[in-house]
Chains A and B, each alone.
Chain A
Amino acid sequence: MALMEVRHVTFAYREKPVLKDVSVEVGEGEVVTLLGPNGSGKSTLIKTVIGLIRPGQGTVHLAGRDISSIPQKELARHIAYVPQFHRGAFPYRVLDVILMGRMPHKTFFFRYSQEDIDIARTVMEKLSITHLAGRPYTEISGGERQLTLIARALAQGARIFVMDEPASGLDYGNQLRLLEHITALSCEGYTFIKSTHSPEHALWIAHRAVMIKKGAIIADGRCDDVVNSETLLQLYNIRVNVIRLNGTLRVCVPEMLKDNGAGEGTERPSVFVHRGTLRR
């Protein structure tokens, strides 16, 4: 049985349909990437999966149970939401942000216990961010902040991570490091449902890609089968070649920019020397 199951979900925002009869199944340990243009309904689907939005029709099931029948707190112990790169209004310490993940395990009037702090320290160690514990959350780098949010999700005790464009706003190096962390966690059995704007991120780490356009799924399957020139043309209305590099990863090469001379380096000087340094 699938771990998470979205069954015929339809959702409209002010009579404008956002999701039209969407069905997706996610197995345990799977990394599923949602691809789709802006406004295609990716974020809405993500919010439906974590129970923030109630679908107009259809249901979402977690291990066979309809999530609308699961109390918010219990749901949070199974599914963690890792939001987009954001800045908080208050410079809480990283440790305090991670401790927030313990909320679904607490009673109404609560204090964090030593056990909670130990759990927070363990997940920080796991992601090698122990050195950040006392730093203000608003002053660490974007990549470190994303890791903090993942640590918080781990502290929550959830096995399913739902991430809305986790890589957006991160620099190139941090994007790749984030993908590596996701891969490592998925090897331990964590399940990931994430959206992205970069098809390569799907090609590099996802087991499955689900493509959404105008609120409907146009393709769903193994990345190798699903992500190709035709589907990307359909999705983004742009010609892209998907090329396998020497039997390793596949990359996307856009058709439209191929002939602009960038990267060839013969007609143009490859290094521009600033005048000031020439005169000395």
Chain B
Amino acid sequence: MRTGLVITGLTCALVIAVLISLVLGKYPVGIEDVCGFFLWKVFNAGVNLSIDRQLLENILLNIRLPRIMAAVFVGASLSISGVAFQAMFLNPLVSPGILGVLAGASFGAALGMVLSKSWFFVQASCFVFGFLAVMAAVGVARFYKGNSIILLILGGVISGALFTSLLSIVKYLADPYNQLPAIVYWLMGGLTLVDAGTIRTSAIPVVAGVALVISLSGYLNVLSMGDEEARAMGVPVERIRIILVVITTMLSAITVVLAGMVGWVGLIIPHISRMIVGPDNRVLIPVSALVGALYLVAVDAISRLLFTTEIPLGIITSLVGIPFFAVVLKRAGRGWS
């Protein structure tokens, strides 16, 4: 009962946040114009708009909505990846980058910026290297003949360190007047470069990925009891873990493609969500997807509005996330061994 209420409430809050966010921006658009526009667009309802439809369509659908959808995708993806990893690795302090996906994707993006002028190439390289980094981590664990949790984490540490140093090499070699600043800004995280095309392409994998993690969320409870117990309850531990690692890697790599490095979301949103609905992953996964989306839409709105020049999103999520985490640490410590 309560769960349903929380999910409905959060969904409404997210819709409202998206609508408010559509109003915010340099060109003044009223909330009644936003609502009217969507009524016309979706239901073909005849409404009076105070702004030219073509202009409104351009502002809302081509400029503002892609960016807001990117915030929703990034927030939801990082949050559920965080929850899934925390359950799989039996540790509430784990974040989505643990297997090296964020380091790999950052390196891929930087490499793409140095090698090519094509934005598509940068995105593709970012996505591919995110996957390669995780494959390297899993490969290291396999090399030592294990799919055990500790070996996977060690593999992730090694792979993350490798790609972080490779990123430094790329930065060192980059042209310091154009490429280096571009790389540095990218790594600060932001949604300025998001376009409608990228959102359309990433919508299917993100929605499918989130849906798959939600449908497998029942396994996360059992996986977090440890491999042996899970296997003794008939769960194909390795198979489920590999499936989840592949999906979360895909989701995390897409967040880097869309927004660069957005830190701390995958760590603090799971904790906030756990405070709201408790640790049961069947509820926690959908709730944290909603909370994460809501959080990033809000933070993005703040980053656009607070000052005349835009502050990179990743800086705000870190600045908000770190003190928040310090505060909740005590409460979140419940039940840690």
CA A90 to CA B336, docked complex, whole Å: 7
Closest chain B CB from A87 CB (angstroms) = 4
Please tell me which stretch of A98-106, A166-174, A196-204 contacts chain B, meaning at least 4 of its Cβ atoms lie within 8 angstroms of it. A98-106
| Residue on B nearest A95 in the bound complex, by CB | B280
Contacts of A96 in B (CB 8 A): 221, 280
Q: With A89-B224, A91-B335 as given contacts, are A100 and B233 in contact (CB-CB < 8 Å)?
A: yes
Tell me the bound Cα distance from A93 to B221 in angstroms. Answer: 11
**Which of the candidate stretches B70-78, B86-94, B134-142, B298-306 sits at the interface with the other chain?**
B86-94
Give residues of chain A (71-102) contacting chain B, Cβ–Cβ below 8 Å. Answer: 72-77, 79-81, 83, 86-93, 96-97, 100-101
Q: Name the residue in B90, B215, B233, B282 with the highest tally of chain A Cβ atoms < 10 Å from its Cβ.
A: B233
The residue from A79, A81, A110, A111 contacting B229, defined by CB atoms under 8 A apart = A81
Q: How far is the CA of A75 from the CA of B279 in the complex (A)?
A: 29
Task: Return the contact of B222 from the options A87, A89, A100, A139 (Cβ within 8 A).
Answer: A100
B334 at the interface (CB under 8 A from A): yes
Instruction: Using CB atoms, name the residue of chain A closest to B228.
Output: A52
**A236 interface residue per 8 A CB criterion:** no
A88 B225 Cβ-Cβ under 8 A: yes
Distance between B87 CB and nearest chain A CB, rounded to angstroms? 7
Question: Bound state CA distance, A101 and B230, in angstroms?
Answer: 10
Contact of B233 among A87, A89, A103, A138 (CB under 8 A): A103
Contact B235 A109 (CB under 8 A): no
B146 sits at the interface (CB 8 A): no
Residues of chain A within 8 A of B215, CB atoms compared = 109
Measured between beta carbons, the chain A residues less than 8 angstroms from B92 are 89-90
Determine whether the beta carbon of B231 is less than 8 Å from that of A72. Answer: yes
Most buried by B among A72, A106, A156: A72
Q: Is the CB of B228 within 8 A of A88?
A: no
A139 touches B234 (CB 8 A): no
Given the known A-B contacts A47-B228, A100-B225, A110-B218, are A92 and B280 also in contact in the complex, defined by CB atoms under 8 Å?
A: yes
A136 within 8 A of B: yes
Known: A76-B232, A76-B234. Is A93-B218 also a contact (CB below 8 A)?
A: no
- Across the interface, name the chain B residue whose C-beta is closest to A105: B234
Count of A interface residues, CB-CB < 8 Å: 36
A138 touches B221 (CB 8 A): no
Is the C-beta of A67 less than 8 angstroms from some C-beta in chain B? Answer: no
Do the beta carbons of A87 and B232 come within 8 Å of each other? no
Contact-residue bracket for chain B: 20 to 34
User: Quick one: which of A83, A90, A93, A136 contacts B87, CB cutoff 8 A?
Assistant: A90
User: Could you tell me if B91 and A111 are in contact, using CB atoms closer than 8 angstroms?
Assistant: no
Q: Which of B224, B235, B280 is close to A103, meaning CB atoms less than 8 Å apart?
A: B235
Chain B residues contacting A217 (CB-CB under 8 Å) are: none
Cβ-defined contact, B229 with A83, below 8 A? yes
B278 at the interface (CB under 8 A from A): yes
Contact across chains for A52 and B231 when beta carbons are under 8 A apart: yes
Q: Does B236 contact A (CB under 8 A)?
A: yes
Shortest B83–chain A CB gap in Å is 10
Note all chain B residues with C-beta closer than 8 A to A104: 233-234
Minimum CB–CB distance for A13 against chain B, Å: 13
A50 close to B336 (CB less than 8 A)? no
- The closest CB in chain B to the CB of A74 belongs to B234
Q: Which residue of A lies closest to B236 (CB)?
A: A72
Give the residues in chain A near B282, CB-CB below 8 Å: 111
A residues in contact with B226, CB < 8 Å: 83, 86
Asked whether A80 lies within 8 Å of B234 as measured between CB atoms, the reply is no
Please indicate the chain A residues that have their CB under 8 angstroms from the CB of B91 in the complex.
Answer: 89
Chain A positions 46 through 63: 1 when the CB is less than 8 Å from some CB of chain B, otherwise 0 = 010010100000000000
Chain B residues within CB distance 8 Å of chain A: 87, 90-92, 215-216, 218, 221-222, 224-226, 228-229, 231-236, 278-280, 282, 334-337
7 A-B pairs (CB sep. < 8 Å): A76-B232, A89-B224, A89-B336, A100-B225, A103-B234, A109-B215, A110-B218
Which residues does A use to contact B, with CB under 8 Å? 47, 50, 52, 72-77, 79-81, 83, 86-93, 96-97, 100-101, 103-104, 106, 109-112, 136, 138-139, 156
